Amino acid sequence: MSMLGEIFAWWGGSTWGTRWTITRQGRLVGSDDYGNTYYEQRSGVGPHGMPRRWVMYKNLSEASQVPPEWHGWLHHTVPNPPTEETYVAKPWQKPHQMNLTGTSAAYRPDGSILTAAKRPRATGDYSAWKPE
């Protein structure tokens, strides 16, 4: 990314201002398997009476890159980060996958203009609503 992009474009990753703020006010708590790093406010509290928590994305700023164990900590759902306790996924949980919308791996049902598959025929179990 160009220097101008790093200064002004938050969607391409962290800006200089974000890195400066986190360096001054935050302490490193840990990182996840995807290379994202997590920080918490060193002293004081944020506007909601709790210390602020941040994530610095390794790549693009995309919230779906945060795995569930860190999501709970970021949103103050759990008090301790996954680095301080053992996170065990529930048996029904699938492995974390970021949002694939806009990529070639996005879900495209039969009948979509982006697939060659034809839409299945109606089964007759639908009846349209008619006002009386």
Instruction: Dump the DSSP string for 62-75.
Output: -GGGS-HHHHHHHT
Instruction: Tell me how many domains the chain contains.
Output: 1
- Arithmetic mean of pLDDT over the chain: 82
The reported pLDDT for the residue numbered 4 is 64
CA distance to 29, 34, 38, 67, per residue, from 71 (Å): 14, 13, 10, 6
More confident residue, 77 or 1: 77
Q: Is residue 118 part of a domain?
A: no
- Structure confidence by residue, pLDDT tens digits, 65-92: 888 889 999 999 988 999 888 888 889 9
Q: Which residue has the tokens 């034809």?
A: 118
8 φ, ψ (degrees, to nearest 5): -110, -25
Q: Is residue 41 part of a domain?
A: yes
The reported pLDDT for the residue numbered 39 is 93
